[in-house]
Structure 1
Amino acid sequence: MNYPEKGSKAYLFSIVLVAVMGGLLFGYDTAVISGAEKGLQAFFVGASDFVYTDVIHGITSSSALLGCIIGAAVSGFCAQYLGRKRSLILAGILFFVSALGSYEPEFILFTHGRPSYSLLWMFNAYRIIGGIGVGLASAVCPMYIAEVAPSNIRGTLVSWNQFAIIFGQLVVYFVNFMILGDHANPIIEKTAENIYNIVNLSDAAWTIDRGWRYMFGSEAIVAGLFTVLVCFVPESPRYLSLVGRDERALMVLSRINGLAKARETLAEIKATVEVKSEKLFSFGVMVIFLGIMLSVFQQAVGINAVLYFAPRIFDSMHMGNPMVQTVIMGIINIAFTLVAVFTVEKWGRKPLLITGSIGMAIGALGVAAVNLFELHPLVSVVCIMVYSASFMFSWGPICWVLIAEIFPNTIRGAAMAIAVAFQWIFNFIVSSTFVPMYNMEAFGMGDRFGHMFAYALYGVICVVAAWFVYKLVPETKGKTLEEMSALWRKRDGKGPAPANRAVAAE
Structure 2
Amino acid sequence: MNKKTFLLLITAVSALGGLLFGYDTGVINGAQFYLSKHFDLDSAMKGWVVGSALLGCLIGAIAAGPLSIKFGRKHSLIVSAVLFSVSAYGSGLPSIFPESVSLLVVFRIIGGLGIGIASMNAPMYIAEIAPSNIRGKMVTYYQLAIVIGFFVVFLATYFIGNSLSETQNIAFGWKRMFWSELIPSCLFLILLFFVPKSPRWLTLKGKDDDALIILTKIHGAYQANKEIIEIKDSLKVDDKHIKVNYFSKIILGIIAIGTTLSVLQQFTGINAVLYYGADIFEKALGFGKEDILAQQILLAFVNLIFTFVAMFTVDKFGRKPLIYIGSIGMIVGFLLLGITLQQQSVGILSLLGVLIFIASFALSMGPVVWVLLSEMFPNKIRSVAMSVAVAAQWAANYVVSQSFPIVMDSDTNNSAIWNGSLPYFIFIAFIMIIMVVTYKYIPETKGKSLEEIEGFWQE
TM, length-normalised to structure 1:
0.85
Alignment match, 1:43: 38
Which of the numbers 51, 57, 64 marks the counterpart of 1:62?
A: 51
The equivalent of 1:79 in structure 2 is: 68
- Give the whole-Å Cα distance in 2 for the aligned partners of 1:29 and 1:467: 33
Match status 1:20 vs 2:15: yes
Partner of 1:425: 395
Distance 1:257 1:26 in 2: 29
- The code of the aligned residue for 1:382 comes to L
Matched, 1:209 2:136: no
C-alpha distance in structure 1 between counterparts of 2:224 and 2:291, whole Å: 54
| Percent identity (aligned) | 41
The aligned residue for residue 94 of structure 2 is 105
User: Are 1:58 and 1:433, in contact at CA under 8 Å, matched by a contact in 2?
Assistant: no
Amino acid at match of 2:180: S
Aligned CA distance change for structure 1 residues 24 and 486 (closer, same or farther; 3 Å): same
Residue 293 (structure 1) aligns with:
260
Tell me the distance in 2 between the aligned counterparts of 1:147 and 1:450. 48
2:58 and 2:456 map into 1 onto residues whose CA distance is: 29
* Among candidates 344, 352, 362, match of residue 382 of structure 1: 352
Kindly state the Cα deviation for residue 395 of structure 1 after the two structures are TM-superposed.
Answer: 0.4
**SS of match in other structure, 1:82:** helix
Q: CA–CA distance in 2 between the matches of 1:374 and 1:472?
A: 39
**What amino acid is the match of 1:122?**
L
Instruction: State the alpha-carbon separation in 1 of the partners of residues 120 and 161 from structure 2.
Output: 33
Task: Work out the CA distance in 1 between the residues paired with 2:315 and 2:137.
Answer: 7
Structure 1 residues 449 and 180 mapped into 2: Cα distance closer, same or farther (>3 Å)?
Answer: farther
Unaligned runs of 5+ in 1: 1-5, 111-117, 184-202, 491-506
Q: Is the 2:81–2:114 Cα contact (8 Å) retained in structure 1?
A: yes
Distance 2:456 2:350 in 1: 44
Give the CA deviation at 1:134: 0.3
Which of 133, 136, 141 is the matching residue for 2:114? 133
Aligned-residue CA RMSD in angstroms? 2.0
Amino acid at match of 2:146: I
**Quick one: structure 1 residues 249 and 450, their matched pair in 2 at CA, closer, same or farther if it must change by over 3 Å?**
farther
CA deviation profile, 1:384-428 (whole Å, cap 9, x unmatched) = 111111100000000000011110000000000000000000011
Flag the structure with higher helix content.
2
Match of 2:339, as an amino acid?
A
Q: Any conservation in 1 of the 2:408–2:414 contact (CA below 8 Å)?
A: no
Contact conserved, 1:148 with 1:237, CA < 8 A, in 2? yes
Instruction: Tell whether the 8 Å contact from 2:16 to 2:188 is kept in structure 1 after alignment.
Output: yes
1:312 to 275, 279, 288: 279
Contact 1:68 1:135 in 2 (8 A): yes
- Which shifted more, 157-166 or 454-463? 454-463
Q: Is the 8 A contact 1:372 1:448 kept in 2?
A: yes
Which of 451-460 and 273-282 deviates more?
273-282
Residue in structure 1 matched with residue 5 of structure 2 by the alignment: 10
Q: Deviations over 1:314-335 (max 9, x none)?
A: 2332165211111121111111
Give the alignment partner of residue 132 of structure 2, picking from 133, 147, 151. Answer: 151
Offset, 1:274:
2.8
Give the TM-score normalised by the residue count of structure 2.
0.94
- Pair 1:31 & 2:1 matched: no
* SS of match in other structure, 2:197: coil
Matched length = 451
Equivalent residue letter for 2:389: A
- Unmatched runs of 5 consecutive residues or more in structure 2: none
The 4+ residue runs of structure 1 with deviation greater than 3 A are 281-284, 442-451
Tell me which amino acid in the other structure corresponds to 2:170: I
The structure having more radius of gyration, on CA atoms, is 1
For the pair 1:328 / 2:294, whether they are aligned, the reply is no
1:499 match: none
Q: Does 1:278 align with 2:244?
A: yes
* CA pair 395-226 structure 1, distance change in 2 beyond 3 A: same
In the other structure, the counterpart of 1:230 is: 192
Match for residue 3 of structure 1? none
| CA deviation after TM superposition for structure 1 residue 221, in Å | 1.3
Answer yes or no: is the 8 Å Cα contact 2:26–2:150 preserved in 1.
Answer: yes
Residue 477 of structure 1 deviates from its aligned partner by: 0.9
After superposition, what is the alpha-carbon deviation per residue over 1:482-502, rounded to whole angstroms, capped at 9, x for unaligned? 112222122xxxxxxxxxxxx
1:182 Cα deviation (Å)?
5.9
Q: Deviations over 1:209-232 (max 9, x none)?
A: 222222122111110110010011
Q: Which amino acid aligns with 1:219?
A: E
Q: How far is the alpha carbon of 1:359 from its aligned partner?
A: 1.1
Structure 1 residues 70-124: Cα deviation after superposition (integer angstroms, max 9, x where no partner): 11111110100011110000000000011111112245x32xxxxxxx4332211
